[in-house]
Amino acid sequence: MRITNQSLYIPFETNLEGIQDRRFKEDLRISSGKQIVALADNPQNLSIIKMLTSQIDQTTQFKSNVEDSLGELYVASEQLGVLGDKIQNIREVNIDALNISNHSALSSIAQHVKGLIDDLIKAANLDFNGHFLFSGTKSTPNTLDKNGVFQNDMPFEIFQGTATATNPSGLQVTFKGNFKDREIQKDKQTTEVINVKADQIFGKDGKEALETLVELYNILEFNPKGEVRITTSPLSKEEFGKINTLQKRLGEFYDNITSVSAQFGSKINRFESIRDQMQNELTNLEAMRSTKNDTDVAKATINLRKEELALQYSLQVGARLLQNSLFDFLK
Amino acid sequence: MGNFNSLEIGKRGLLASQFGLDVTSNNIANVNTPGYSRRMTSLIQSDPLHTNNGFMGTGVMADKLRSFREDFFDNEIRSTLSRKSGYDADQEILHKIETSLAEPSDLDVAKLVNQFFNAFNEASTQPENIGMREHLLGVTQTLVDRFHNLSQKFSDIRRDTNNSLNNSTKQANTLIKQIAGLNKSIAQSYTEGSVPGQTMVDEREKLLEELSKLMNTTIGTGENGSVNVYINGINIITGPVYSELGLQEKIDTETGERTLEIIKTDSKSMKTVLNPQAGEITSNLKHYNITLDENDLSGEYSPIQKLNDLANAIVQKVNAISLNGFGLDDTSTNSPARAIFEPSVGKASAANIAVSKDIKGKPRNIPFSDSPKEGGNNKIALQIARLASDPVFIDGGTPSEFYAAFIGKIGTMSQEAQSATSTTRMVADQLESQRQSTIGVNLDEEAINIVKFQKAFEASSRVISITNDILGTIINLGR
């Protein structure tokens, strides 16, 4: 084949461009840390990377959901303990009332019970991050069912109603929330309930336990005629019987709260375990993505060096090849 | 025969050598001129004289200049260049699309779609939280802005392609006019076989190659060295006569789709659609009419349509759920039917998707609840968040799967164009090398020719000098 100047230049130029292009890509791979620097590099892997990234984003979000909920679960669990303690406290006070020699202190015991009921309601009205913990999905003041004459914007309220023979103090308890679940999504398919409902804590209508306490207060504060008990007025046999019954019911409520609290504790453990699993899953997903996406620095460095050498030798050989002609030797 | 004959022979030798040196110099001067085909001096003996001793030579004379063009290589190179420029144009447009999509990176629209659904997911943990609602609005606006930005960029690329098509058509017309002009000049000088004739042939071939880069052409041989040019079988140039090319917008009467086509207009103002099969114009027409046309009905892959499909699916699916929801302050048992996106009626696209006025700047209105007066109810938010994993969200897959396939397809198109460019470049280089081995200038050869003609020139000069001496001797005999 006849070799001409142009037939030397053309492949030389093309090859040089090829080497420089490959060298640039390896350089880019090392500096960016990414194996794929253009869509055309590896479309199949790029699709896989996109899917993995999406999966990582979703899992990160689910993990964040679980972590956020854990905060709420911790607070709710602690608050369940507080509620249990209050009821236990009332039960202990009640035992004092049942002591026959304490009849002169019944009124002060009644006031103590009333104070504990207030504390209990205050504890049940706790909010976390702007929402009430135990009022179901009616978790903000403006969504509470305020159909009656209520004093405040809290889900649980004790208010002064009309005194009756069965309720001489006229104290009434109301619950303005509902008993719906609050759920979070913990993975693609499933949701998890994160709230404790009022009826789980306080029984029927979310206020049975509180009404029981008001009933107890009424017995302690008022005599069977509905008059405020005077210090010399002891409890009648019938009242003793009622208080014993109420004490028993309070025991049931306490057991119930303890049981709910235990279930909740178990849920917290499960959430912590899910969070750890998700962390593992994220680590694995990121490792998988890394194998597809990240530069194998050793390989890229070797390739870069290869291309640099190729470029250097091409330039050296090309320079000699293109310079020499017969004219160089004709003097 | 006399001594004067020797002088004449010497003179002819000088002239032939001088001519050879001129041709060689011209070859050397054009060693790097694109399209130049080397010339070779063809020397022949001049007519002999009949003498008593038989026929006697009278020296040398330069015959025709020989040129080395080969139609096979020229045709193959034109055809390869057509395909190569088409792939180059493909690569350029796909690279622009790639850049617009910010790919490959973590700032893509898929990331924002994920963020949008994740924001619902996050807000569902505390549906009463205004901060999270505000965050969701921000993420939604970012997603909408990204769609608008992409739509604008695709539109810009399409406009650039239109400009490019206009420029290429103008360039094609200039080339066609020049080729027809050269046809005319070549025909005039054809019979002479002179150097200017060959120069024009080289120049015409260069122009034909430029034209082939724009559209694939077929070349037929015309009269007196002229050529006829055809595009997809339709005659564009016949000798010195040529047709003008132009772009024509075609509007589909049923669908309203607007596409471009390239036409030729002849001297009787008759318009014929060309439909070239390869070349830069062909590629740009394909991208203008399909890849970048959001109303394309060809059924071929159109990224802008896919992007619009994604925007539309998000709008339709999210709104279908949100219309049944309630905001934080809604008290009526009837849903206020609030949409997250607009347009709530008709098909949405990347260009017209917007955050609904129902919720824009009104985070309390975002419908998270499936019942009124339940701030902590997140049923609707959860339903929307779950759309991220909906296996039939779009094209039988989730939004992420759709985007992964979308990017994969553009990547494959880009890869195919890149691979085809490399292959055709390799073929073009090989063909050009082979053609150059025939028509190209070899400086070593030319150096030998210079030495050859220089020595011949010196020898002829010596003949004249010796003949001069002899004649001087003879003249001096009479003194």
Contact by Cβ (8 Å): A194, A188:
no
| Residue given tokens 């037929």 in the structure block | B220
Contact by Cβ (8 Å): B403, B155:
no
Residue B308 CB partners (closer than 8 Å, separation 6+): B151, B294, B347, B348, B349, B350, B351
- Token code pair at residue B217: 């052409």
- The partner residue sitting opposite A61, judged by closest CB among B118, B328, B398, is B118
Give the lowest-confidence range in A139-153, A273-287, B51-65, B77-91.
A139-153
Query: How far is residue B362 CA from its own chain's centroid?
Result: 50
Q: Decide yes or no: CATH 1.20.1330.10 for domain A52-286.
A: yes
Task: Give the residue on B whose Cα is nearest the Cα of A71.
Answer: B125
Q: What is the pLDDT of residues B358-395, one digit of tens each?
A: 999 999 999 999 999 998 999 999 999 999 999 999 99
Q: What is the pLDDT of residues A178-234, one digit of tens each?
A: 999 999 999 888 999 999 999 999 999 999 999 999 999 999 888 888 888 876 677
Q: Does B265 touch chain A (CB under 8 A)?
A: no
Angle B413-B415-B418 from CA coordinates, rounded to 5°: 110
Side chain identity at residue A330, one-letter code = L
* pTM for this model (two decimals): 0.86
Mean pLDDT of A247-253: 92
Cα separation, B151 vs A160, whole angstroms: 64
ipTM of the complex: 0.86
**Domain boundaries, given as residue ranges, for chain A:** 52-286
Contact by Cβ (8 Å): A195, A69:
no
pLDDT given for residue B237 in this prediction: 95
Contact by Cβ (8 Å): B187, B225:
yes
Q: DSSP strand E in B239-334: where?
A: 241-242, 244-251, 258-265, 271-273
| Residue given tokens 């130029």 in the structure block | A13
Residues of B with Cβ-Cβ distance to A38 under 8 angstroms: 98, 104, 414
Q: Does B437 touch chain A (CB under 8 A)?
A: yes
Query: Quick one: angle between helices B109-125 and B399-439, nearest 10?
Result: 170
Side chain identity at residue A21, one-letter code = D
Tell me: pLDDT of A99 over 80.
no
**Domain boundaries, given as residue ranges, for chain B:** 3-68+444-477, 74-303+399-431
- Token code pair at residue A145: 């069912």
Cα separation, B373 vs B363, whole angstroms: 15
Q: Does A244 touch chain B (CB under 8 A)?
A: no
Q: Which residue, A67, A82, A8, is CA-closest to A274?
A: A67
Query: How far is residue B435 CA from its own chain's centroid?
Result: 23
Residues of B with Cβ-Cβ distance to A11 under 8 angstroms: 429, 433
B125–A65 C-beta distance less than 8 A: yes
pLDDT given for residue A100 in this prediction: 65
A51–B404 C-beta distance less than 8 A: yes
Cα separation, B418 vs B287, whole angstroms: 16
A14–B429 C-beta distance less than 8 A: yes
